[in-house]
Amino acid sequence: MPNPREVLELIERMRCISNDGERRALVDRLGAVDRPTVLSFLNAHGLNVCMGSDEALAAFAASDVLLRDGIGLQAVLPVLGMPAGLNMNGTDFIPLLLKSLPSRNVAIYGTATPWLDRARAVLEAGTPHRYGDLQHGFHPVEHYIAQARATRPDVILLAMGMPKQEQVAAELKRALDHPVLIVNGGAIVDFLAGRFKRAPEAVQRSGLEWAFRLAQEPRRLFRRYCIGAFGFAWSTLRLRRAASLRIRETGAAAPDPTRIPPSPIRPSPIQKEL
């Protein structure tokens, strides 16, 4: 079982994106990786998973860029003395990223047919990329490593759910030897394929998109959102205590979240989202 301080250190590694300029710099940086690089998103469910599993925490810790996703962490970060920044949820940011990058070879590993093929059709119509390697999300990790070594994609989009996708991403990062951006996308492929509907914009702005998703998948998501809420509250208390103890022991507050340095490459315009 992880120590709360270890999870606190993971949270402190999240990049605080506070404005559109920083978001543009992030897109540019992700489009110019020179080694296997993992992009992940941490939300309330992910925090609960990390608090209860050393393996999950290690997988998230292998991420090179970790972004804040959702209203849960938005409420918790100020309690821990950290700014919340913008909500960088993957459902919005990943399509924006794919829309903004110049042409790439993209592999999608996750979910199942027919959703993979439907998502590819949507992406091919709205982005400049080639989507040649589609694999369902139920293979052993060795299968994805072999596929990625054979096809050498520029971007790998994982859509397997937490924490499996983060664990697969960590293994891919260790095994591959070419520049590739590995994106942990959760349900993004299912959303693009129309398997699940996004909440109306007013519901998204209110921070209640989780309730809309629960209404669509009550049996699968009840434990995550309802029972998980109590676990998240307990996790928050433990993290706050860990932060307070560290301040008393060291006399230092939490470090400032890492900021994105200015991009050395030519900016690419952020276009309209898919």
Q: In DSSP terms, which residues pair with 184 in a beta bridge?
A: 158
Give the pairing of strands 65-68 and 155-159.
unpaired
- Measure the CA–CA gap between 85 and 83, rounded to whole angstroms: 6
Q: In DSSP terms, which residues pair with 110 in a beta bridge?
A: 159
Q: Which segments within the chain are labelled E, that is strand?
A: 36-42, 65-68, 105-110, 130-135, 155-159, 180-184
Q: What is the pLDDT along the chain (274 residues), one digit of tens a residue?
A: 899 999 999 999 999 999 999 999 999 999 999 999 999 999 999 999 999 999 999 999 999 999 999 889 998 999 898 999 999 999 999 999 999 999 999 999 999 889 999 999 999 999 999 999 999 999 999 999 999 999 999 999 999 989 999 999 999 999 999 999 999 998 899 989 988 777 777 877 777 776 777 777 777 776 766 777 888 889 899 999 998 888 887 765 555 544 444 333 333 333 333 4
Contacts of 217 (CB under 8 A, 6+ apart): 196
Enter the pTM of the model.
0.86
